Structure 1
């Protein structure tokens, strides 16, 4: 079954918006139009509104009464602060997960499946979905720790990391998260906590280095596709 086959129309709209941000058709601060997107995708405004609400919950969109939905404005400083926080949180996550693996209390097969899906999306040039899946890998790793405090601390940072990746992606960068995720899985399997934590730290540093902050997002007043 193709990955796309299991998506609802609402999910497809969410992925469509991710791709629109990734390809710079949508910019930070831009206002979204329910009617324009409904016509573009041959969907009802109700479904579009639900997709917008889902993106708002994820932190990708903001909503203000009488002003509608806007793509969140994320600066270089914001993006770097997000990853600084993630390094602290995910060091704790990888320590717990590595400990659990050393005690044979952990099945890493779900992570391997996620990495395979990442590579598939990257090769298929489904870039918006790829960025999202790449960031979601870290949330899946957090869930394996079974530490609700760390999971809840990481949750709001993942969609913001997705947005940073969509806005500041550099097409010239050869960075592939799925390769480094495989290295991270192997580091956890080594049962060496210090080594696994160092690999996680290096990976998050590389995530920031792969962003091109020379890209200057511009604010626009209309939601337009194909221009």
Structure 2
């Protein structure tokens, strides 16, 4: 196999596994055995290992020395702690930035709400998460504290992975043209309305409620997972 062919197979394996994780075909904690992938895809282990490293860099799998690769499986305690810390940081950022938001900031948050609703209508979880991050990043961007903003962004990335694994995103079957605005976007617009009115206390209250309700929307069990050897059964 040429280097070009290896790179091509690496990308195929990476995309297949990533989509299987994002669309919840693989149960969290599933071991990604190189022998099964190699047999199903008819490739050597070199492109498989490269694909697994890429997924690990994105936080979607864990590479455990002497054990192998596993779809990440955060504990309920870990999820709760991440959201609790995120709430503390965002509330602090909102308080520090109070009175400093510009019309451009409000417009960015409004656009994020629009993009979030559109992404839900299209069942595009990555676009949804990007819009969600844009909204929350803007909330803390006026804090004037670069460390707070950086740490909030890191936690947004971490909790985005939890949403990919456990949120009811694909079970909602939203239709943007028929259904009402989803709860997350409604809550974002409610926070934005309070900020526009200059009511930081109300905005903070709604923000905390929104983040804590996000945790409640994560379901760590669901039916219909596939085994790794079933992913390419029609290939």
TM-score of the pair, normalised by structure 2 = 0.68
* Matched ranges for 1:78-89 at <5 A: 78-89=78-89
1:169-208 alignment runs, 5 A limit: 169-170=167-168, 171=171, 176-208=183-215
Following superposition, the deviation at residue 132 of structure 1 comes to 5.1
Q: What's the CA shift for 1:181? A: 1.3
Secondary structure (helix, strand or coil) at the match of 1:70 reads strand
| 1:157 Cα offset (Å) | 1.7
Partner of 1:5: none
Shift of 1:223: 6.5
Deviation at 1:116, TM superposition (A): 1.8
Greater CA radius of gyration, 1 or 2? 2
Residue 220 (structure 2) pairs with residue 222 (structure 1): no
What is the alpha-carbon distance in structure 2 between the residues aligned to residue 33 and residue 139 of structure 1? 37
Which residue of 137, 151, 154 corresponds with 2:152? Answer: 154
Equivalent residue pairs, number: 207
Q: Does the Cα contact within 8 Å between 1:118 and 1:134 map onto a contact in 2?
A: yes
Within 5 Å, which residues of 2 pair with 1:88-167?
88-101=88-101, 104=102, 107-131=105-129, 133-167=131-165
Distance 2:104 2:48 in 1: 39
How big is the shift at 1:76? 1.7
Matched, 1:75 2:75: yes
Q: CA deviation at 1:202?
A: 1.1
- Structure 2 segments unaligned to the other structure (5+ residues): 1-10, 175-181
In the TM superposition, residue 94 of structure 1 has moved relative to its aligned partner by: 1.6
Distance 1:138 1:47, change over 3 A: farther
Select the structure with the greater relative contact order (CA < 8 A; seq sep ≥ 6): 1
Q: Which runs of 5+ in 1 are unaligned?
A: 1-9
Separation of aligned partners in 2, 1:173 and 1:82: 27
Per-residue Cα deviation, 1:9-50 (whole angstroms, up to 9, x for no partner): x8xx67972x5334321222234478959x98xxxx879947
TM-score normalised according to structure 1 size: 0.70
**CA–CA separation in structure 2 for the residues paired with 1:28 and 1:156:** 21
Taking only aligned residues, the RMSD between alpha carbons, in angstroms, comes to 3.9
Deviation at 1:177, TM superposition (A): 1.5
